[in-house]
Chains A and B, each alone.
Chain A
Amino acid sequence: MLILALSNLTHRKVRTCLSILAVAISITLLLVLVGLSHGTLNEISQRMQSVEAEIIVRDRHFDLGSMSGGKLWEKEIEQILQLKIGTNPTVERVIPVFLGRMKLGGLSQNVFGVHPEDFSYFAGNRRILEGYLFTDIESPAQALARLESPNNPQTINYLPLLIDKRLSNAARLNVGDTTTFGDTMAQITGIVETGVAGRVFAPINMLRAANGISAKTAHLFFVKAGNNLNTDQLQQLCDEIETKTRRSANLVANYGQVLEQNFQNLTIFVGLVSVIALVICFLFILVTMHTIVLERSKEIAIIQSLGAARSMIMIQTIQEALIICILGCIIGIVMSFGAKWLIETYQPLMTVEMRLHWLLLAVLIGVVGGVLSALVPGYMALRRDPVEVLSFE
Chain B
Amino acid sequence: MEDVLLKTEKLCKTFRQGRLETPVLFDIDMKIKRGEFVAIMGSSGCGKSTLMHILGLMLKSSSGRVIIDGLDTSALDDNRRARLRRDKIGFVFQRFNLLPTLNAYQNIAVAERIRGHCIDGQIWRALEAVQMTDKKQYKPGQLSIGQQQRIAIARAISHQPEIIMADEPTGNLDSSNSERILNLFSQIHRQQGITIVMITHSLTAAQWADRIIQIKDGRIVDH
The interface of chain A, by Cβ under 8 A from chain B, is 1, 3-4, 7-8, 10-11, 298-299, 301-312, 386-387, 390-391
Contacts and interface: CB of A to CB of B under 8 A. Distances in A.
Give the dominant DSSP class at B's interface: helix
B59 interface: yes
A303 B101 contact: no
B87 interface: yes
B58 A1 contact: no
Given A307-B114, A391-B49, A302 B99 contact: yes
30 contacts: A1-B110, A3-B106, A3-B109, A4-B101, A4-B102, A4-B110, A7-B102, A7-B106, A298-B97, A302-B97, A302-B98, A303-B99, A303-B110, A303-B114, A305-B85, A305-B93, A306-B85, A306-B86, A306-B110, A307-B84, A307-B87, A307-B115, A308-B114, A309-B79, A309-B82, A310-B82, A387-B53, A387-B59, A390-B93, A390-B97
Given A306-B86, A387-B59, A312 B97 contact: no
Interface in B104-150: 106, 109-111, 113-115
B102 A3 contact: yes
A386 B53 CA distance: 10
Contact of B82 (A3, A307, A390): A307
A19 B113 CA distance: 28
Contact of A8 (B82, B93, B101): B101
A157 to B, nearest CB: 78
Secondary structure of the A side of the interface?
A: helix
B54 to A, nearest CB: 9
Interface of B: 49, 53, 56, 58-59, 78-79, 82-87, 89, 91, 93, 97-102, 106, 109-111, 113-115, 155
A348 B98 CA distance: 57
Contacts of A8: 101
Contacts of B100: 11, 299
B58 A305 contact: yes
Contacts of A387: 53, 58-59
Contacts of B155: 306
Given A4-B102, A303-B110, A303-B114, A309 B83 contact: yes
Contacts of A311: 79
Instruction: Give the 9 A-B CB pairs with smallest separation, nearest first.
Output: A307-B86, A7-B101, A11-B101, A307-B85, A302-B97, A306-B111, A308-B114, A387-B53, A309-B82
A135 B220 CA distance: 112
A298 B95 CA distance: 11
Contact of B99 (A299, A307, A309, A386): A299
Contacts of B101: 4, 7-8, 10-11, 299
Contacts of A307: 82-87, 89, 114-115
